[in-house]
Amino acid sequence: MAEFTLKLRRYNPESGQAPYWDEHTIDLEPHRSVLEGILQAKARFDGSIGIRCSCRAAICGSCGVRINGQPGLACHTHLDKALASSRDGATIVVEPMGNMPIIKDLIVDMDAVHWKKVQRVTPWLINKEPIPEREYIVPHENMVDVTQTMACIQCGACVSDCLSMEVDPLFVGPAALSKAYRFVGDPRDAQHEARLRDLSEDPHGIYDCTHCFKCIDACPKGVAPMSQIMRLRRRAGSDFGIEDRNNGHRHEKAFVTNIRKNGLLHEADLLPDSYGGKLHPRAVPELLDSLPVITTALLRRKFTPAKALRHPHRKEYKNLREYFDKIEGRDQRLELNLYITGYDEDAPPADDTQNAPEQGEPGRTPEESPSR
């Protein structure tokens, strides 16, 4: 047995009082979970502590909270590890998840945000017609492709830490968009293009993600929601040629063109290239709207006119285009599903090296990489 101090953030909106901190010292084995510690504090000291839980086995996703500022499942976080990650090395801080209204203490209203956004992406299969008389056999590679998104337990951890949702609460969000790929990647679905067009044209859809990687770090099941969002973008822009009104696809292409041309990102060209070039009718209004920002940047010496007009990195990366040519010259685009790695991490290393992964792709052989 060992003693641990839990610092819980308490808040009851119905009381009209401000949030406050409540500390309790619990006595449990170090390998026990933070959830068990909270439940002990609730049973021994204060029965009014609000915490949601169910399976206690990291399956249902009910006990999602922030532990020492990081999202996670209370039932899946050991007390000793939580203490090791605490800021002061003595207190385990537990708070409710972010980006969702608080019902009481550590319980958030997932219906108001998380489930509402999941419903937004039509989270069910729209079957093709005519419906087969017998079972619809799905190719193995397609099922491997969607296995990563199917691992989601809807805990809301990714929603809790999504920076885009903090700035734009209307953003569809990582959990819902990851769910969308579950059906976009399923060959049985009849509305792939319609789904992708809908999420591309929505100002709060797939192009509202800012690639902060927070959802990847937050997910306890390795779903990697941001990776699924990027795959939705590739399917929409590269496979279906959807030119969205948000200019998202053209903006992504501008990054590739810019780096291929200059070696490193030359930001002065990025805005006009996103709209077709400096003299394109779409680019001129955007450049005029950006003049106040450009003027402020010049006055604060963020850049100089010489750096804005020249491309200083081109000669340093003269061989970079060879990589672009090699990748773009492939007959098929490789889509790596990082959830299925093809080996057992706990198994002893094998003597033979016939199935060893290629350098740069740990745990995966080329045959195991699902492709489109």
- What is the per-residue pLDDT across 145-177, written as a single tens digit (0 to 9) for each? 898 899 999 999 999 999 999 999 999 999 999
Q: What are phi and psi of 127, to 5 degrees?
A: -70, 155
Spell out a b/e string for 272-307, using b for 16 or more CB atoms within 10 Å of the CB, else e: bbbbeeeeeeebeeeeeeeeeeeeeeeeeeeeeeee
CA distance 87 to 153: 29
CA distance 83 to 90: 7
- Span 130-139, average pLDDT: 86
* Percent of the chain topping pLDDT 90: 59
pLDDT at 179 over 60: yes
Cis peptide before 130 (omega within 30 of 0): yes
At 312 the pLDDT is 59
**39 token code pair:** 């439940």
Residue 353 neighbours by CB under 8 Å, 6+ apart: none
To 5 degrees, how large is the angle CA 245–CA 250–CA 255?
145
At 269 the pLDDT is 83
Residues 180 and 232 sit within 8 Å (Cβ to Cβ): yes
At 8 the pLDDT is 98
Who wins on pLDDT, 318 or 243? 243
At 111 the pLDDT is 96
pLDDT at 320 over 90: no
Alpha-carbon torsion angle 87, 37, 217, 365, nearest 10: 130
- The closest alpha carbon to 219, from 57, 121, 73, belongs to 73
Global pTM? 0.83
Distances (CA, A) of 236 to 138, 184, 230, 243, 325: 22, 10, 10, 9, 22
Band (pLDDT 50/70/90 cuts) for residue 339 is low
At 140 the pLDDT is 85
Distances (CA, A) of 200 to 107, 129, 305: 33, 25, 35
CA distance 148 to 228: 9
CA distance 97 to 91: 19
* Percent of the chain topping pLDDT 70: 87
At 352 the pLDDT is 45
Average pLDDT value for the chain: 86
CA distance 188 to 165: 31
CA distance 258 to 269: 7
- Span 353-368, average pLDDT: 39
pLDDT at 315 over 70: no
pLDDT at 333 over 50: yes
- The closest alpha carbon to 98, from 189, 181, 21, 160, belongs to 160
pLDDT at 294 over 90: no
Pick the range with the lowest mean pLDDT from 57-71, 111-125, 301-315.
Answer: 301-315
CA distance 309 to 319: 23
CA distance 216 to 70: 12
DSSP calls for 296-318: HHHHTTSS-HHHHHS-TTTGGGT
At 278 the pLDDT is 77
